[in-house]
Amino acid sequence: MLLLIGIFCSFIVSFLNNAPDSERDSAAVQEFLGNMETAFRAHSLWAGCSEEELESAGEGLEKYVMTKLFTRTFASLPEDVKVDEQLHEKIALIQQFVRPENLDIKPIFQNESSWLFAQKELQKINMYRAPRDKLVCILNCCKVINNLLTSVSAKENPPGADDFLPVLIYVTIKANPPQLHSNLLYIQRFRGQTRLVSEAAYFFTNILSAESFILNIDAQALSMDETEFETNMESARALLSGLSADNNVLGQSDQNAGPVPGADTSEAKLSFRSNRPPSAATQPNFSVASTETKPKNEDQYVKNQSSMEKIPSLSDLENRGASMLIKEDSINQVFQSFPYLYSQAGDLTVGDIEDLLNNYKRLVIKYVCLAKGSGIDNPSPSLPNNQVQTQHPDFEFNTESKAASAGEPIDEMQKDGPEDSSSVLSESLESDESKLKENEVVSSRVEEGS
């Protein structure tokens, strides 16, 4: 066993000493995982283990290695990062005007609200570091789509790829997960080749082809005429440049962060209390930047702030965000990265309190500073505690500390990823909501409902 650890360490060290090279890195990891798996399967320590145990040991090894190598292997090449940015920007525009019929989604499936669950699954992809976990997010998304297709279809007309792919493309456009391209490449390169087969391979091919379709979208691909397409793109650009153009870019450049969907969080921040009267002084729950706890996001925060200074007042800002949010088809997805947002008081545990309180204090300080900076004299950023807990839609805390803990390599080994594909895939749709919650709780390693 010691020998294996030695091999392991020397692999990591030699890997990290070389400059990034996607093909060589991928081949090295695949070879290493293959060899290690063969080695421990033959090792006396593992004698008598069931196939299942060996399989999960192999999975564990892959997860551990890739968590160690994540920073080095994920979105580490400038050309990949560039495609990420292009893709994200293009989707941000297209999602403003694409309609289900542009993609040949049959009328019976054109119920957009039902696709929100699928979008949520896909958006979780940046919460995980292991290739398997990221892949499971994609498979869960596909699973949700398939469930819905099957439940709506008539028996004599079963759904197939004619129905599935257009919906997957639509969902991908609406979800617009940051760094999609890098995520897909990462899975392709570092998911154990013996495990990316069969059904997983099929659905992974579907998301690859969805990406390819989106990257190549033009007027013809959406059955629009050129001028209509260009007009739509222009007005989408105008709409976005008003508020979140630089935030989009910022979200993109935030390579290794956890759940920080750039544009989405900023929109959430700006429009959070859209249904309240626009008096900034009584808005204690207004979060300035959900990313401020991480030192490496410091400059992003500064940029966010400077872009805000151009804007006259908090309430103007808020109104602007609110009107954007109303136009958005999928308000829920904007908020999905704030884990406490949908929590009930009973969901919280003693362990959450410190976290919540710290965040609250930061939030208050940020808010007061912001309000001062915008010329508001007496901001009153406090709410009675009970109100804070029960009025959860008014309540927002940053998710970054969770992301940070999820990113700890050692933790990653012990922490569960997203639901195991086999169990998730046989699960019914109804459990998706609770799964989401579960994952978040697990990722902060707090026991639920204690």
CA 428, distance to chain mean position in Å, is 22
By CB under 8 A, is residue 192 in contact with another protein?
no
**How many residues contact another protein, by CB under 8 A?**
37
Residue 429: CB minimum distance to another protein, A? 11
By CB under 8 A, is residue 331 in contact with another protein?
no
Cβ proximity of 122 and 145 under 8 Å: no
CA 264, distance to chain mean position in Å, is 10
Nearest Cα residue to 58 out of 38, 37, 30 = 37
By CB under 8 A, is residue 149 in contact with another protein?
yes
Cβ proximity of 336 and 433 under 8 Å: no
Cβ proximity of 122 and 138 under 8 Å: yes
Stretch that binds another protein, among 41-49, 219-227, 252-260, 352-360 (CB under 8 A): 219-227
By CB under 8 A, is residue 422 in contact with another protein?
yes
By CB under 8 A, is residue 199 in contact with another protein?
yes
Buried b (16+ CB within 10 A) or exposed e, 93-124: bbbbbbebebbebbeebeebebbbbbbbbbbb
Residue at 303: amino acid letter: K
By CB under 8 A, is residue 208 in contact with another protein?
yes
Residue 183: CB minimum distance to another protein, A? 17
Stretch that binds another protein, among 30-38, 198-206, 370-378, 436-444 (CB under 8 A): 198-206
Structure tokens at 131: 């290739």
Could you give the CA distance from residue 357 to residue 448 in angstroms, rounded to a whole number? Answer: 19
By CB under 8 A, is residue 207 in contact with another protein?
no
Nearer to another protein, 6 or 158 (CB): 158
CA 106, distance to chain mean position in Å, is 28
Nearer to another protein, 203 or 397 (CB): 203
Residue 299: CB minimum distance to another protein, A? 39
Residue 164: CB minimum distance to another protein, A? 5
User: Within positions 276 to 305, which residues make up the interface with another protein, using CB under 8 A?
Assistant: none
By CB under 8 A, is residue 64 in contact with another protein?
no
Helix axes 131-152, 161-175, angle to 10 degrees: 120
By CB under 8 A, is residue 214 in contact with another protein?
no
By CB under 8 A, is residue 147 in contact with another protein?
yes
- Count CB neighbours of 31 within 10 A: 11
Nearer to another protein, 53 or 104 (CB): 104
Nearest Cα residue to 91 out of 217, 221, 231 = 217
What is the 8-class DSSP label of residue 19? Answer: P
Stretch that binds another protein, among 63-71, 210-218, 272-280, 399-407 (CB under 8 A): 210-218
* 61 Cβ neighbours under 8 A, 6+ residues apart: 33, 36, 37, 40
**Residue numbers at the binding site for another protein (CB under 8 A):** 103-104, 139, 142-143, 146-147, 149-150, 156-166, 198-199, 202-203, 205-206, 208-209, 212-213, 216, 220-221, 223, 422, 425-426
